[in-house]
Amino acid sequence: MPTPNSTVEGFSISHAAILDGSTGAQDADIYGIREGSIEVDTDNYDNTGDDAVLSTWYWFNYAMVSVTAGYISFEQVALLTGSSITSSGTDENIFYNIPLWEETSLNQPTRPMMIRVPSKDSNGMIRDLDFVLYKVQFEPMSFDGPSYKDGLLTNYSGKALISNVDEKGDTLARRSIGRLVSRPAVGV
C-alpha cells in the first residue's frame, strides 16, 4: 500500500467536539452536525509613498467558528455555560432540566475544539482532516426553527483566539490559533 501524501481533499463535516484542554480527549461531542465553518478574521495595512502602494502588511486577529447540529446535548450545554443539569423521575418518566441563557453563563472559560472532515489524499487514500482549535471563546448558543422538515437546529459559535498553548496545555513554540492534521481515518 502506498504512503499517503500531504495533498488532501475534504468533504463534509463528520464530527466536532469540545476537547478537555489537558489530554486532547473529547469532553463533549457535538452530535448530529448539519454544517459548519471556520473563517479567519484578517486585516491589512498598505504602506504608501510616491503615490503608490510600496508594500502591504497582513495579519489575522482570530477565526470565527460555527457549527450547526440537529441535536441538543444537555451535557454539552452544561460544559459551555457552567450550569448544572438537574433531573427528576425514573426510567421512561425522567425529566432533564438546565438553565437557558442565564447571565452567569456568559464569558465562560475558553475551550479547545476539534472539527473533523472526511478526506482522501491525491492518490485516493482515505484520511481524516482535523481542524484543531486551541482556544475557543464560545458565544451563547442559538436555535433555528423548529421548521417544517428541517426541525430544530442548535448553533454553536465562537472565536478561536490566538493561544500560547495547544489543546493539551503544552506551550507552543509560536503563538497560534490551531493546527490542521491529516491522519488515517478513525471514524467517530
Residue 187: which pLDDT band, with cuts at 50, 70 and 90? low
Q: For 39-66, write each residue's pLDDT tens digit.
A: 999 999 999 999 999 999 999 999 999 9
Catalogue all structural domains in the chain, each as residue range(s) with its CATH number.
Answer: 8-184 (2.30.110)
From the number of C-beta atoms within 10 Å of its C-beta (0-12, 13-18, 19+), residue 125 rates as: middle
pLDDT score of 112 more than 60:
yes
Residue 49: what pLDDT? Answer: 93
Average pLDDT for 61-77: 93
Q: Name residue, grid cell 497582513.
A: 58
- Tell me which of 147 and 74 has the higher pLDDT: 74
pLDDT score of 151 more than 90:
no
Q: Name the percent of the chain lying above pLDDT 70.
A: 98
Point out which residues pair with 80 in neighbouring strands.
none
Residue 162: which pLDDT band, with cuts at 50, 70 and 90? very high
Mean model confidence pLDDT for the chain = 92
Q: Name residue, grid cell 417544517.
A: 148
Average pLDDT for 86-99: 94
CB 14 within 8 A of CB 118: yes
Q: What is the DSSP string of the chain?
A: -PPP-S-EEE-S--EEEEE-SSSS-EEEEE-SEEEEEEEEEEEEEEEEETTEEEEEEEEEEEEEEEEEES---HHHHHHHH----EEES-GGG-EEE---S-GGGTTPPPEEEEEEEEEEETT--EEEEEEEEEEEEEPPPEEEEEETTTEEEEEEEEEE--EEE-TTSPEEEEEESEEEEEEE----
Q: Name the percent of the chain lying above pLDDT 90.
A: 74
